[in-house]
Chains A and B, each alone.
Chain A
Amino acid sequence: MRSTLVSYVLFAAMLIALAAVFLWVPTEKEMGIIQRIFYFHVPSAMSAFLAFFLVFIGSIQYLRTREEKWDRLALSAAELGVMFGLIVLITGPLWAKPVWGVYWRWEPRLTSMLITFTIYVAYLMVRDYGAQASQAPRLGAVMGILAFANVPLVYYAVDLWSADQQLHPPRNVGLEPTMEYAKWICYATFFLLLFHLVAQRMELARIESAVVRLRQKLDDA
């Protein structure tokens, strides 16, 4: 019931965000229409990091309490973090092609995102292919904590490595007020989308493990 309500709110928020991005905000002077990808690119990146933070929280709490729900949070957030990371890595080059002339530059922010993305893909692979079902939550939690600790180090090292190639604007670039509003609308929509999807995925994981338990009970009987 609650999730249906959230779906409607999310749908409305998406319509508002789309209207804001395509009808309301002015077109940027130098980059033109392509700049509008900003309203998807940046919120996706923020959502990815928020998801990685949720993996971290879920991992710590799982090791502390050993309650399955925290592991479900970590796993669901990791999958969605990878998905939002992929959106960043796709929209980034699409934006870069007309503006920088090439799809990919080994530019610090793009490179850092790519490395962070690979860390969480490895996390998912280890859970899926390596660990037996009984150990996956525990090993996943260890990895989820280490991975999050690594994110600032990745950013620092990559900045050192290629500071002279920095092409992204500095963090607090002055935006025109309507652009600023549209940005916040998009942040809110993306965060709502992330939380909604995490909740859905957690519910699915709960049902999956309930089915596994039922099947075991049947086998034992």
Chain B
Amino acid sequence: MSFIGRALAILRKDLQAEWRTKERLSPMVFFTLLVLLVFNFSFELGGAALREIGPGVLWSSYVFASLLGLGRSFADEHENDALDALLLAPGDHGAIYLGKMVGNLVFLLAIELLSLHFFALFFNLSLGFFLVPLLAVFVLGSACLASVGTLFAAMSNNMRLRELLLPLLLLPMIMPALISCVAATKIVLANGHFTELLPHMQMLGVYAVVFTVLSLMLFEYAIEE
């Protein structure tokens, strides 16, 4: 099987398992809803403040949800020693990373799009017009999260205190991407001009590419027993 073929096989397996159990998707969407509630009561989100802090609230809830979801992405493989079997398969282990990373990207996007409806509903936001640029921000932002997130999930999977360590590893590393995600979302919701949006999109694109490539190279070392 080619590199891409093996990555696709992993991706299909993960999506299929998730489709049958929905054990990551439903808790994560519900968790995002709960975080939105917490933020609502912390900040009284309705009204004028929404456009200022709404994007930050949205991305904070996505980041927290992704910490939960990413942590699970290798835990399932760990439980039945399935990871050992995956690692026995011939060829570059980068394919495992790529398949898992795209799978995580799909999960994150699904959660973001599903919970965006709560956000729009609760805070009386009509999304129609913003949806296309917002989707672009979501795709790039989730790619950033999934790129380092998948590698760190694989790394922390073998560690003691893994639930504690994944956020410690991931949060400082994704800070530059988070800054640009929030700024870009703010510009989109404020109906800002494309030229304002561009530097942030470039930043997210560069981040996603740099860390996907680096993670592909380093995955071998992160996973070896």
Contacts and interface: CB of A to CB of B under 8 A. Distances in A.
Interface of A: 63, 115, 118-119, 121-122, 125-126, 129-132, 135, 138-139, 141-143, 145-147, 149-150, 153-154, 156-158, 160-161
Interface stretch (B63-71, B82-90, B118-126, B151-159): B151-159
Contacts of A160: 179-180, 183, 199-200, 203
Given A119-B173, A157-B177, 8 more contacts: A119-B172, A125-B165, A132-B159, A138-B221, A139-B222, A142-B155, A142-B221, A150-B176
Interface of B: 148, 151, 155-156, 158-162, 164-165, 168-169, 171-173, 175-177, 179-180, 183, 199-200, 203, 206-207, 210-211, 214-215, 218, 221-222, 224
Contacts of B168: 122, 125-126
B179 A157 contact: yes
A138 B218 CA distance: 10
Nearest to A117: B172
Contacts of B156: 126, 130
**Which of A145, A149, A153, A156 neighbours the largest number of chain B CB atoms within 10 Å of its CB?**
A153
A153 B165 contact: no
20 contacts: A63-B218, A122-B168, A122-B169, A122-B173, A125-B165, A126-B159, A126-B165, A129-B164, A130-B156, A130-B165, A135-B158, A135-B159, A138-B221, A138-B222, A145-B218, A146-B151, A149-B214, A153-B210, A156-B176, A157-B179
Given A125-B168, A129-B165, A153-B203, A158 B155 contact: no
A81 B222 CA distance: 23
A154 B180 contact: no
Contacts of A138: 221-222, 224
Contacts of B160: 129-132
A78 to B, nearest CB: 14
Given A130-B156, A139-B222, A146 B179 contact: no
Nearest to A161: B179
Contacts of B214: 145-146, 149
A57 B156 CA distance: 23
B224 to A, nearest CB: 7
Contacts of B207: 153
A157 B204 CA distance: 9
Nearest to A139: B155
Contacts of A156: 176, 203
